[in-house]
């Protein structure tokens, strides 16, 4: 009887691990990539970004609390400056 009480939590952990499909928790949604997050932000500000392809952080122009990214989309390339919790400054490069 004592042995079965000890094995119950282990069995429950194993079942939950199998149901989680390799993720630590099955209900955790994967984080968005920087590319898709930046594309969504500039779209919400009225810019067109068809099929975002790449986003690279510009280390020379970035400062503490101000990140600068270059976002490449199928139809255009943008330089995006971002302060936390504010609208992005978007400059169309191509």
Question: 27-53 pLDDT, tens per residue?
Answer: 333 335 888 889 999 999 999 999 898
Report which of residues 26 and 37 the model is more confident about.
37
d(CA 86, CA 79): 16
82 neighbors 69 (Cβ within 8 angstroms): yes
d(CA 84, CA 6): 49
Average pLDDT value for the chain: 79
d(CA 42, CA 66): 16
Q: What stretch of H or E contains 90? A: strand 89-92
């Amino acid at each position: 009887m004592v042995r079965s009480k000890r094995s119950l939590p282990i069995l429950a952990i194993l079942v939950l691990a199998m149901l989680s499909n390799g993720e630590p928790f099955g209900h955790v949604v994967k984080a968005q990539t920087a590319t898709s997050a930046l594309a969504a932000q500039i779209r919400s500000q009225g810019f067109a970004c068809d099929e975002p392809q790449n986003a690279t952080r510009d280390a020379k122009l970035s400062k503490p609390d101000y990140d600068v990214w270059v976002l490449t989309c199928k139809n255009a390339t943008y330089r995006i400056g971002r302060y936390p919790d504010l609208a992005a400054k978007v400059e169309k490069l191509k």
